[in-house]
């Protein structure tokens, strides 16, 4: 009997210890403190020095957790058990999150600096009147090529990727919707088609591309392209900007026949807890000098018109990353598919 | 009294077993019977066994796991054999175990550097006059890295069974006129077979569902069942199908366990 009692006491002690450690761990990961902001962001998608500047100014510590695809982020939010205060879905994912009732409307009265934004990037079809979202960055999907392997100016169409001379040379970004969208545009179809026949045909077209594909990876593409590991990559404009900055042999093209135009947006998920911090952060990021600093660090195009004016002229006028209206007209924004 | 006492000791592990082993497996089996629109169905299993895609993927996974296990075995057995006869065994054994203390992702990234166009491996190939080759994103490099990572898990059980081997058997065999080779394949190998089987279990089963390496080293060109599960849970959000693949993998693992265990049971009788 004595043994049993000591056993029970021992168990209770272990449980107590576990609860205490759990509590400590939770606190150090920042889930429950009051002076924190839990940001759920794409990998490498905010200038870290802005986070420390934000903490100096407001006292809120920002915990960043990262995801590598819209779908993965959706799954995690839907699963529950998270305490994210802000996250950064792309256009179609904003509507999907909205439909799944995972977002909270943004209180416009607590926001400042919304007039800094270029009206072209507000009031988009995925979120009318920006009830739930504030634009963060925008960009395109395109082709990056290395002029050590490919003569500059010769690669301008999606269909050229299928050419047998590029066997084992192409890296694709691991994003199902973008790569399928590319195959659809190549065939002259809408990136938002829901016609099963068209989609099936695009799938077959992608199967034909596979001998040319070297790898299907995500953030690693940057590293590989900078090291001249592959001749061609299909990736997003901001990734391309970073690659171009580190390797002067690289070039970025958005094929004329069309591509994807996307917007990443800051939204408040249902699980948010730290409202003071959220609005402080949104207003902080709305400020032109901060948005400009972020845009220079990340390389994507900023929707903040005043911030864009602060960028160096060479960046502002770079048609590769700030395409003109004529090009934008050929680009398509993804819509959420009607079925889940 | 004694019975009650042992029951008490079992409580922590029992809870652990229930919460973190039995419940998750039960949930996976449960999930696998649901379609995308949350209806109870057997369709996931029908899809799995009827569509060429999944069968081919299974075949691929099993084939690669088999190759990895084979190469690991071919390297590990001689290594363990030599290791047993060395003077500072514990030290050499430590060197074998040492790489397992390093995170698997770090090792994978190191190999990316080694295999890249301007990496160490290609510099060497250029130096000896063969010229640079495409090493990264090939099946060969995938198997190489997977083998490298699994080797310690194969060496250890084989080494242990070799260490347990009574040297008297070997001496007896040699004294009775058997050659060294005969001694090896008639005496030593059969007696250490349980170690080999334990090694196979430790290597083959995890190899079936490797997915980080298929992406980093294989460039996602070979889709194994592990990758398929990841995609179904994260991208397509078809948890039913993902769970179905999970269940199939669990069953496959049980079969492998049974096959390797049965044999050792018979041989020890």
Assign A269 to helix, strand or coil.
Answer: strand
Q: Nearest by CB to A168, which of B4, B134, B220?
A: B134
Is residue A134 within 8 A of residue A265, CB to CB? The reply is: yes
Distance from the Cα of A77 to chain B's closest Cα (Å) equals: 11
User: Of A71, A176, A229, which has the smallest distance from its Cβ to B136's Cβ?
Assistant: A229
Give the gap in angstroms from C-alpha B221 to the nearest C-alpha of chain A: 6
- Which residues in chain B are closer than 8 Å to A69, comparing Cβ atoms? 234-235
* Helix extents (H) in A100-168: none
| Tokens found for residue B129 | 């006059």
Q: What distance in Å separates the CA atoms of residue A307 and residue A52, rounded to the nearest whole number?
A: 20
| A162 and A209 Cβ atoms separated by less than 8 Å | yes
Decide: B196 and B188 in contact? Cβ < 8 Å: no
C-beta atoms of A69 and B235 within 8 A: yes
Interatomic CA distance for residues B247 and B242, integer angstroms? 9
Chain A residues in contact with B220 (beta carbon < 8 A) = 174, 215-217
Q: Note the pLDDT tens digit of each residue in B125-173.
A: 888 888 888 888 888 899 999 999 999 999 999 999 999 999 899 999 9
Structure confidence at residue B133 (pLDDT): 83
- Cβ under 8 Å to B: A residues 225-244: 227-229
Shortest Cα distance from A71 to chain B (angstroms)? 5
Domains and CATH numbers, chain B: 59-221 (1.10.3720.10)
As a whole-number percent, the residues of chain B with pLDDT over 70 amount to 95
Contact A216 B220 (CB under 8 A): yes
Contact B219 A214 (CB under 8 A): yes
**Residue A340: per-residue pLDDT:** 40
In chain A, residues 294-323 whose CB comes closer than 8 Å to chain B? none
For residue B269, the distance in angstroms to the closest alpha carbon of chain A comes to 40
Q: Is A219 on the interface with B (CB under 8 A)?
A: no
Nearest residue to B110 (alpha-carbon basis) of B61, B76, B149 = B149
Query: Of A263, A266, A245, which is closest to residue A320 (Cα–Cα)?
Result: A245
From residue B229, give the alpha-carbon distance in Å to each of B27, B58, B224: 15, 12, 9
Contacts of A4 in chain B (CB under 8 A): 4-5, 8
- Could you report the per-residue pLDDT of B193-213, keeping only the tens digit for each? 999 999 998 999 888 878 788
Q: CB–CB of A216 and B137 under 8 A?
A: no
Residues A4, B4: C-beta atoms closer than 8 Å: yes
Q: What pLDDT is recorded for position A118?
A: 92
B139-164 vs B52-85: helix crossing angle, rounded to 10: 40
Residues of B with Cβ-Cβ distance to A213 under 8 angstroms: 221
CA distance B220 to chain A (A): 5
B220 contact A CB<8A: yes
Provide block-wise average pLDDT over 10 residues at a time, chain B (269 residues). Answer: 68 89 93 88 90 88 93 95 89 91 89 87 88 85 93 94 91 91 91 92 86 83 84 86 92 85 50
Instruction: Pick the closest to residue A233 from A142, A164, A167 (CA basis).
Output: A142
Q: Which domains does chain A have, with CATH numbers?
A: 34-138+262-322 (3.40.190.10), 139-253 (3.40.190.10)
pLDDT by residue for chain A (340 residues), tens only, comes to 677 788 788 888 888 888 888 777 666 555 556 789 999 999 889 999 999 999 999 999 999 999 988 988 998 998 888 889 999 999 999 999 999 999 999 999 999 999 999 998 899 889 999 999 999 999 999 999 999 999 998 999 999 999 999 999 999 998 888 999 999 999 999 999 999 999 999 999 999 999 999 999 888 899 899 988 899 999 999 889 889 989 999 999 999 889 999 999 999 999 999 999 999 999 999 999 999 999 999 889 999 999 999 999 888 888 888 888 888 888 888 888 665 4
- End-to-end CA distance of chain B: give it in Å, rounded: 36
């Amino acid at each position: 009997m004595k043994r049993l009692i000591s056993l029970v006491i021992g168990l209770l002690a272990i449980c107590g210890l576990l609860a205490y450690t759990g509590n400590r761990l939770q606190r150090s990961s920042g889930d429950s403190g009051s002076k924190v902001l839990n940001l759920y962001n794409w990998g490498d998608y905010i200038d870290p020095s802005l986070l420390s500047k934000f903490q100096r100014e407001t006292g809120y510590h920002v915990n960043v957790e990262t995801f590598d695809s819209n779908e993965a982020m959706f799954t995690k939010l839907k699963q529950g058990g998270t305490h994210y205060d802000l996250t950064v879905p792309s256009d179609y994912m904003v509507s999907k999150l909205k439909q799944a009732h995972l977002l909270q409307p943004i209180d416009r009265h607590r926001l400042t600096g919304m007039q800094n934004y270029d009206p072209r990037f507000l009031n988009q079809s995925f979120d009318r009147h920006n009830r739930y979202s504030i634009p963060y960055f925008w960009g395109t999907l395109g082709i990056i090529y290395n002029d050590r392997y490919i003569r500059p100016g010769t690669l301008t169409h999606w269909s050229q990727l299928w050419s047998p001379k590029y066997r084992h040379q192409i890296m694709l970004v691991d994003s199902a919707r973008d790569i399928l969208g590319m195959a659809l545009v190549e065939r002259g179809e809408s990136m938002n088609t829901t016609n099963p026949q068209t989609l099936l045909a695009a799938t077959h077209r992608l199967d034909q591309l596979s001998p040319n594909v070297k790898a299907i990876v995500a953030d690693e593409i940057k590293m590989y392209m900078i090291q001249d590991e592959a001749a061609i990559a299909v990736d997003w404009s901001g990734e391309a900007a970073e690659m171009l900055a580190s390797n002067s042999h690289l070039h970025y093209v958005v094929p004329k026949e069309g591509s994807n135009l996307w917007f990443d947006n800051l939204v408040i998920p249902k699980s948010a807890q730290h409202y003071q911090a959220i609005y402080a952060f949104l207003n902080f990021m709305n400020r032109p000098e901060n948005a400009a600093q972020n845009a220079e660090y990340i390389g994507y195009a900023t929707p903040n018109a005043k911030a864009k004016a602060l960028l160096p002229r060479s960046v502002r006028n770079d048609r590769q990353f700030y395409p003109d209206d004529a090009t934008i007209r050929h680009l398509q924004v993804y819509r959420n598919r009607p079925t889940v | 009294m004694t019975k009650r006492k042992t029951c008490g000791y079992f409580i922590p592990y029992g809870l652990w077993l229930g919460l973190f082993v039995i419940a998750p497996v039960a949930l996976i089996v449960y999930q696998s019977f649901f379609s995308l629109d949350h209806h109870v169905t057997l369709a996931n299993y029908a899809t799995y066994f009827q569509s060429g895609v999944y069968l081919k993927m299974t075949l691929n996974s099993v084939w690669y796991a088999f190759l990895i296990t084979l190469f690991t075995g071919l390297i590990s057995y001689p290594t363990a054999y030599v290791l047993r006869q060395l003077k500072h065994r514990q030290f050499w054994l430590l060197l074998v175990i040492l790489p397992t203390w390093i995170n698997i992702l770090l090792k994978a990234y190191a190999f990316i550097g080694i295999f890249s166009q301007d990496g160490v491996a290609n510099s060497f190939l250029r130096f000896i006059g063969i010229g640079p080759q495409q090493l990264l994103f090939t099946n060969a490099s995938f198997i190489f890295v997977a083998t490298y990572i699994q080797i310690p898990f194969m060496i250890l059980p084989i080494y242990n069974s070799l260490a347990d081997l009574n040297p008297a058997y070997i001496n007896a065999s040699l004294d009775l006129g058997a050659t060294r080779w005969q001694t090896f394949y008639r005496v030593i190998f059969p007696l250490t077979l349980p170690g080999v089987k334990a090694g196979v279990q430790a290597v083959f089963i995890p190899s079936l569902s490797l997915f980080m390496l298929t992406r980093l080293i294989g460039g996602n060109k070979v889709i194994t069942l592990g990758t398929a599960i990841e995609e179904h849970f994260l991208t397509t959000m078809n948890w039913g199908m993902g769970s179905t693949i999970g269940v199939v993998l669990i069953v496959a693992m049980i079969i492998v366990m049974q096959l390797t265990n049965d044999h050792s049971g018979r041989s020890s009788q």
